[in-house]
Every structure is written in structure tokens, then in C-alpha cells.
Amino acid sequence: MIKLFIADDHELFREGLKSLLSREKDIEIVGSASDGLEAVNAVWRLKPEVVLMDVTMPNMNGIQATAKICSELPDIAVIVISMHNDRRFIAEALKAGARGYVLKESSPELMLDAIRTVSRNEVFFSPKVCTVLVSDYLRLLGNEEVGRASPLSEREMEVLQLLVKGRNGKQVADALSISKNTVDTHRRRIMDKLGCESMAELTKYAIREGFLTLE
């Protein structure tokens, strides 16, 4: 049986949730609150397993209440419920320690899925929230890739790829249709740019930095 607490300052929404969720055989609603401070005090007393926490509430907002609960009672899973899928709200909820973020427009089935999922110590997000999170992740990943971009030119990268795979100067020259002297010049420049003094160092550096793979 999942012990559930609901915190939301909209009475109709709160009571509607209580009516809906109380029908489930595996969920027991142990209490509810209409403001953040009241919610924190009640959660301390009742020790539910899962808390549904609205973002906007009087006295103490949902993010602040979530942070306090998660820091003081880390075994309790908090799901932030909100009308907004703005990345700022989502980010603040995650920083506060929420294990889930569900939009109020979500279906009853999705809300139930969220409660059961976080009760298993997993995380759960509404599909629209997932879209925001993935978009932000890809943007950050792209920035990281740009930040660690190789100092080598495209031709130097081609030479490095072949050298690391064990090709000698002549083989590299033949593969790229350039002279062996040009290959030697590229090799010196590559080592200078990467601060390497041997092929062993060059290989380790290139793989560590993700400039190439050995496939």
C-alpha cells in the first residue's frame, strides 16, 4: 500500500485528486494540505511514501517545500504537479530533489503511473516535460562537444586516424593521396598541437579526448 499525501491550494483540484486516487486498492491517502508550510509539517508527522506537491502555494511555495522535505526526509518521494512545463520550473523542481514532474493536464492513468513509479524509487515525468528535458540535454551536449572541439584541422584528423590505427607514413600518404613528406609535416604539427612526444601518448590522448575511435 502506497501512503500518499497531496498538497495543492486549489480545493476543487485537491479534492478531485483525493476522490480519484482513493479508489485505487494500492493507494492510501494519509493527508492533504493547502499551503507549503502546512504540507511540510504534516509530512513530518505522517511520513507518507509519496507526496504530490503543487508548485504555487501560499506561505511556502512548492519548490521550497519540496527542497525541505527532500533534504530532511530523503526516503519520501516528491512529485511536483504543475500547470507549467516551463524549463525553469522543471529545473528548480529537480534541484529541489523531486523525483517526478507531472502536468496537471495529465490523464488519471498517467498520474497513477507516476505515483507507482516513484514509490519504486524511480523517476517519472510527463511526456511534455520529457521533451523539454531531452531538448535541454541535447543542447548542453552540443555545447560540450563544441567546447572540447579538436584543435586539429580536418586533414590532420584524417592523418591522426590512420596513424593511430598503425599505418606507417607511406601507407597514410597512399591512403590520402599525398606525399610522405606532407604526412611527416602533419604528424609533427599534430604532436605539437596536442603536446605529445610519442605515438603512444598521441594515441592515448586522441582516444581520451574522443577525437576518434579505434573501430
Q: DSSP class of residue 186?
A: H
Q: Between 152 and 49, whose confidence is greater?
A: 49
Q: What one-character DSSP code corresponds to residue 23?
A: T
133 versus 125: the higher-pLDDT residue is 125
Identify which of 134, 20, 121 has the alpha carbon closest to the alpha carbon of residue 79: 121
* Residue 185, all three cell numbers: 609535416
Give the pLDDT band (50/70/90) at residue 39.
very high
Q: Residue 25 above 70 pLDDT? A: yes
- How far apart, in whole angstroms, are the C-alpha atoms of residue 104 and residue 11? 14
Buried b (16+ CB within 10 A) or exposed e, 122-154: eebbbeebeebbeeeeeeeeeeeeeeeebebee
d(CA 3, CA 27) in angstroms, rounded, equals 6
Q: Is the pLDDT of residue 147 over 70?
A: no
pTM here is: 0.65
Query: What Å distances lie between residue 16 and 83, 104, 112, 173, CA to CA?
Result: 16, 12, 14, 74
Predicted pLDDT of residue 196:
76
Report the sign of the C-alpha dihedral through residues 118, 119, 120, 121, in that order. positive
Q: Is the pLDDT of residue 205 over 70?
A: no
pLDDT for the residue numbered 142: 52
